[in-house]
Amino acid sequence: MKITEGYMPYLNYQTYYRIVGDITKPSLVLLHGGPGSTHNYFELLDSLACDDYCVVMYDQLGCGNSYVEGRPELWKPETWVNELIALRKHLNLTKVHLLGQSWGGMLALDYVLHYNPVGVESLILSSTLSSASLWASEQHRMICFMSEADQHAIEIAEETDNYESEEYIIANTHFMHAHCAGVYEIGKAPDCLTRPKRTGEESYLYGWGPNEYTPTGSLAGFEVTNELKNINIPTLIISGTNDLCTPLVAKTMYDNIKHATWYLFPNCRHMVFAEATTQYIQLLQSWLKQTESVSH
């Protein structure tokens, strides 16, 4: 499949995008997590591009090839929603399926619920959330299963607002390894998971917070569960049993979205598409085929 890379001017900066396949076809648009991760891990899904669809991914402002720092006032939902709107216009993406992973799912929900977009055929919510407060409480529930030393280190860090201690860093690493992802070894994992990247640490801190369980940034008040009933497009929810997106978080979205399907992957953490890549791709292929047949 042909791969096209480019940049879109945005807010006096440049937003990098990567297209797999024919841009004139309907597109699967991939919204990465963070805020401040990059498109890199989505390259695992390149094979979804086919005669019927292209795949579009991009680095949101603040990270990767769209790196910006020293602008804390930018790291708010409006910046990234308007970037998505601008990208659809720039690339003439009239008919799209939106897949948002982690924070990317929050971005997709914000966009669909509050901006009245046209041409969104389906929504794929992968390991994401509709409530920052529920997310935080679920992370704290899982922290209770950690060693007493790790629990204590996290508790002290939250009480003192000091996330620099060695004990805290070790505890947080244990938490993320259990529920998010481990460290991928070069040569033993796909290149897109191991190659160096510019992570948007500032956009994560000001957008979300110091870690997954302490939302203090511009997204700390993200609470759209009561609005999910307004979603009228087919919606696929994907999560893992060991995910930061716990089964309760996923079920809360499933229970409130009318046309929702939920697929729970056993033994997967936050990056289901990296831990069950083949099954994830097969699920998306059948989902796209199914929603396409319904829309015609």
Catalytic residues: 102, 243, 270
Instruction: Measure the CA–CA gap between 79 and 60, rounded to whole angstroms.
Output: 9
Specify whether the CB–CB gap between 230 and 65 falls below 8 A.
no
CA angle 126, 128, 131 (to 5 degrees): 155
Q: How many CB atoms lie within 10 A of CB 191?
A: 11
Specify whether the CB–CB gap between 273 and 280 falls below 8 A.
yes
Nearest to 141 by CA among 85, 196, 191, 179: 179
The helix or strand, by DSSP H or E, that contains position 171, with its residue range, turns out to be helix 166-179
Amino acid identity, position 152:
H
For 176, counting Cβ atoms within 10 Å of its Cβ (0-12 exposed, 13-18 middle, 19+ buried), the class is middle
DSSP 218: T
Specify whether the CB–CB gap between 44 and 55 falls below 8 A.
no
Query: What are residue 125's phi and psi, to 5 degrees?
Result: -105, 105
Q: How many CB atoms lie within 10 A of CB 110?
A: 20
